[in-house]
């Protein structure tokens, strides 16, 4: 779960004032997690962001999972386990605070620290997101590469930003 929180925080760090912030975007992603013993696991999927602090990660491999948040609650749908977990975020997810801390480091690279973690953000020549890297609470190196980035205006449909699951799934409130 800590990795999930770090993903959410990390993703918020992407939108520093000098980084192009669209009203919404969608992208494919490849997330590589390397543990301290150099064992690697790679996740693939797509992500959608809407400026109202709505974020949805849809994992396709190696497992089918969805992670959705509105900045106040996180919903994790594990389709392989047929289980849904809901968590209230202890304090409001403050995207603006994270964004304000990102500073240019080198050409197209930004660094930010938030709650004791350092995030490295890479953008293209137009300020569009390319990758994010950080170490999670378990000292795993996490790198997220974004592909087929599509920026847009207006809100994404609410139905697109919600985690969908059958009523037969087990539901756990954390």
Question: For the residues 158-172, what does the mean pLDDT come to?
Answer: 94
Dump pLDDT digits (tens) for 92-112: 444 445 555 778 999 889 888
Q: Specify the pLDDT at position 21.
A: 66
Q: Specify the pLDDT at position 124.
A: 86
Domain ranges of the chain: 2-173
Return the C-alpha torsion angle 111, 113, 117, 123, nearest 10. -30
Dump pLDDT digits (tens) for 68-92: 988 788 999 999 999 999 999 875 4
Confidence of residue 9 (pLDDT cuts 50, 70, 90): very low
Q: What is the CATH number of domain 2-173?
A: 2.50.20.10
Question: For the residues 53-77, what does the mean pLDDT come to?
Answer: 91
Least confident of 38-42, 55-59, 120-124, 164-168: 120-124
DSSP β-ladder status, 141-152 and 103-106:
unpaired
């Amino acid at each position: 779960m800590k990795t999930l929180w770090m993903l959410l925080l990390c993703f918020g760090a992407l939108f520093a004032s000098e980084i192009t912030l669209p009203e919404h975007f969608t992208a494919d992603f490849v997330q590589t997690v390397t543990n301290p013993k150099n064992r690697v696991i790679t996740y693939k999927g797509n992500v959608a962001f809407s400026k109202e602090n709505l974020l949805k990660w849809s994992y396709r491999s190696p497992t089918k999972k969805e992670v959705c948040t509105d900045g106040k609650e996180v919903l994790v749908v594990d389709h392989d386990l047929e289980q849904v977990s809901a968590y209230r975020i202890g304090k409001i997810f403050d995207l603006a605070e994270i964004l304000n801390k990102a500073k240019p480091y080198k050409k197209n690279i930004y660094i930010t620290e938030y709650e004791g973690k350092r995030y490295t953000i890479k953008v293209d020549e137009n300020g569009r997101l390319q990758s994010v890297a950080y170490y999670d609470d378990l000292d795993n190196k996490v790198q997220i590469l974004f592909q087929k980035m599509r920026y847009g205006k207006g809100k994404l449909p609410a139905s697109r930003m919600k985690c969908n699951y059958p009523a037969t799934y087990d539901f756990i409130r954390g």
